[in-house]
Structure 1
């Protein structure tokens, strides 16, 4: 049976509230479904927002009161998924954690909303989000399957630069790949957030799990991002989907811009993140070129949104997952090419063996062989 699947990357931006952003996610997903898309990736920190340009009133040895107010607003905008600060792993995924008396769920309902959108559209959704648990924020991402609901969640293990001020470090055990079957195609998906992709051992931990789709939601809009994605595709013999936001300065929350310097406010129309979302194949070839300075939200608001394409911020492509095996003729960095007799990688709390594939078909019996 052919192992072909239509996948997409949404270059979008966080809107003025969580509710508005969730509504946009639903609208984009519904449109993608109408185009035959079965798997859709949204950017890093899409739900909750990436606080670009904000310093939270900090300097070495000092915090300004307005910075604490900014953190309060950012915390309120974040998503509560009902997980624990340490991360409950499979217990959270499988809804084994206790709920409050009189309640039927943990969290603020975002998980349930995403599951409903995925179920109603038949689209597997992977999205970045800012997650709050206890008093800490985490840069996270969730995998939402149309049949099974949420099947996994990642927390960024190493926030980059000033991100460390407002985001906690996630557990490396969350690097666990997930498996599913979409449209008869078996998938093993891994996800690395933004500059986690520059961590060679982290990449290897995903390759070791035999991923055939590697998701890379990001906030990096530099020209140097595409070469990294091409390296990952060719290195891991995997398809790579990368999604970034596209944002102008005047589209930032007011709690950021109200405290900005006058020179920063001077040109509100300038892009502070230009996008650069792309799709790469398992030999490192560019399947969907990076798209710049365009946002799918803007096209969806127009009178004619039926012809949304990559130039409008929605990259759609049919891929053949068997290309991953074709590529491993000459290189498999987690198998025959790894020299695992000489080199060893261990990750605390993570099984690096390929996870068992989801199997829906009836197993062969001895009588049929």
Structure 2
């Protein structure tokens, strides 16, 4: 029996750095996509706050003690969401009222560290966190590592939905763990969906027997400078951003992918909302040939152990002082 779900990827430019303004923009995009009938809406990696593109594009960003890098880090620390952030209440209200799910990336602050968190908002429940397990290359200058406590899926009325972020799609054991959670739809979050990222997303769909929303964003250098102005500006941060060529920096390329790896809908490199109606029954049909968590897993040969404990690093035991 067919089981149809309307999905959307909002491939838009974020408001970099200024998360306060970004939340308002996010809610407008969500409302518009919901008005068009979307029940699951996805945004790309760190849409709230914008991807820290200066780490890739500004030649001096990785230099020790660089004043511009430090200034941008301070701004993100000041702006970042925190667990239970009251600023996200308008988005949760939209999700509750419209009975939808929204996957959106954000810079999150826990104590004094930043994390790359892909939040899954769901009706009448707290958002589901997924903190990136391994920041990639230069990202380690800004983000801490997540732990196994945020490897999970949401059980929606129509099925399971989960997230992974960017190069986590090349972590075979992370993929295996998520396949074990029986995703019907997977959100693959990227800054831009480059050719190799599209390959990884299509592979995930085929391997997991699920639909994949490969969500990218668009961004120009002007967006970075505009966001910096919104947070009050900073001369050192502006000087670093101005080292970046004045051009488009993120190129969208979002995809909606079927469980057989075929492309259902594809965006180009400009701002748009990509939508499709997907048949969730196709996932069950795909598993007739390949179930990597079941008949194609060889559980008698291979075994995966996943530690889902939260790793805080410090445990205060009141009994120790007695």
- What TM-score, normalized by structure 2, do the two folds share? 0.86
Q: 1:330 to 1:135 in 2, by over 3 A?
A: same
Give the match for residue 119 of structure 1: 96
Which structure's residues are more often helix, by fraction? 2
**Which structure has the bigger radius of gyration?**
1
CA positional deviation for 1:341: 0.9
Give the match for residue 255 of structure 2: 278
Deviations 1:122-175 (A, max 9, x none): 3211111110111100000111112x2324111001000111111000012211
Give 2:175's match in structure 1, choosing from 196, 203, 206. 203
Task: Give yes or no for the alignment of 1:152 onto 2:128.
Answer: yes
Q: 1:137 to 1:3 in 2, by over 3 A?
A: same
CA contact (8 A) 2:23 2:88 kept: no
Give 1:348's match in structure 2, choosing from 303, 307, 320. 307
Unaligned runs of 5+ in 1: 83-106, 296-312, 351-369
- Take 1:154 and 1:193, find their aligned partners in 2: how far apart are those partners? 8
CA contact (8 A) 1:11 1:43 kept: yes
CA contact (8 A) 2:47 2:104 kept: yes
Q: 1:24 to 1:263 in 2, by over 3 A?
A: closer
CA positional deviation for 1:196: 0.6
- What TM-score, normalized by structure 1, do the two folds share? 0.76
Give the match for residue 287 of structure 1: 264
- Take 2:142 and 2:269, find their aligned partners in 1: how far apart are those partners? 27
Q: How does 1:189-338 map to 2 (within 5 A)?
A: 189-253=161-225, 254=228, 258-260=238-240, 264-265=244-245, 268=246, 270-289=247-266, 291-295=267-271, 313-338=272-297
Alignment size in residue pairs = 297
Give the match for residue 83 of structure 2: 81
Give 2:112's match in structure 1, choosing from 104, 127, 135. 135
Q: 1:161 to 1:190 in 2, by over 3 A?
A: same
Task: Give yes or no for the alignment of 1:339 onto 2:319.
Answer: no
Give the match for residue 14 of structure 2: 14
Unaligned runs of 5+ in 2: 229-233, 310-322
CA positional deviation for 1:9: 0.7
CA contact (8 A) 2:107 2:117 kept: yes
Q: 1:151 to 1:193 in 2, by over 3 A?
A: same
CA contact (8 A) 2:185 2:212 kept: yes
CA contact (8 A) 2:206 2:259 kept: yes
CA contact (8 A) 2:148 2:306 kept: yes
CA contact (8 A) 2:217 2:251 kept: yes
